[in-house]
Amino acid sequence: MNKTFAEKSLKQTFLGMFAVMSAASAFLTGCNQKYETKESEKIFTKQPPLAKVPVTVEDEEVPADKRVIYLTFDDGPNRGTENLLKILQKRNVCATAFLIGKHASDSKKQKADLENMRRNNLIELANHSYAHAHHKYSEYYKNPEAVVQDFDRAKDSLKLTGKIARTPGRNIWRLNNINITDIKSSSEAANQLQKAGYKVIGWDLEWKPTHKMTLKGNHKAMLKKVDSIFFNDLEKTSRHLVFLTHDQYLTDADSVEELDQFIAKLQKSNRFVFRKISSYPKINEVLN
């Protein structure tokens, strides 16, 4: 029996998913506002200060013919954060930034970028540790108590009100209904984070970098990967896809344009809604 997507064959729907894009406006719900910006506008041009947008309801039921995408960006504030904010503002789409506590005080520019994120209702802030394990992941996860202390330090330094977190260097999930650890030696640290009240979120799809730390490949390839994940039911939660990339990959014009076009094509297809990660299913349930 074929799976159905909006009462049509999934096979028929997804094979033509990005071959024929609807010219309709983006679905108007949650974080998704009407898309009207001209394609010719460039992200690198000087733009006015980011304006606040009305806070919208994001926990409404998703129509059966839609799928939810959670845009998430790690390691900010960092090189590329300013360009990320410009893309989100241009497309009027929401996202979640998983921040490094230390980065918020590394430079005046990073401090300013953090304040810009705080003032922008399109983006929510979450915890990605204090110093990204100093990139010594095996050593970092050997001491679960220290891992919890590190996340607590990041929470305090960034003045975060919630306890949504993403582990550095690991794709780990710890929610009431999802328990996944990519590298098992990190399991106990993840368990301790959960016991401390952290809701640990990994990802379903990552846009990885080249050796020059720019986005690898193009937006068309990423759209096909989105297609494949939904078609093959590879999401951790059906109909909900967590997308990951990093602020620091958005420093060159080509990478900025590719991410911009990726979001624009998803919007124009009229098949998706965008949400902040705090709206992920069951994330707000009290942890056992």
The per-residue pLDDT for range 238-284, each reduced to its tens digit, is: 999 999 999 999 999 999 999 999 999 999 999 999 999 999 999 98
Architecture of the domain spanning 63-279: Alpha-Beta Barrel (3.20)
Query: Residue 102, SS3?
Result: helix
* Cα–Cα distance, 95 to 53 (Å, whole number): 14
Neighbours of 18 (CB within 10 A): 18
* Cα–Cα distance, 265 to 224 (Å, whole number): 11
The residue ranges of every structural domain in the chain are 63-279
Tokens 């790690």 found at:
74
Q: Is the pLDDT of residue 35 over 60?
A: no
Q: Is the pTM of this model over 0.85?
A: no
- CA 43 to chain CA centroid, Å, is 19
Question: What Rg value do the Cα atoms of the chain yield, rounded?
Answer: 19
Q: Is the pLDDT of residue 88 over 50?
A: yes
Q: Is the pLDDT of residue 128 over 80?
A: yes
Residue 89 φ then ψ, to 5°: -70, -40
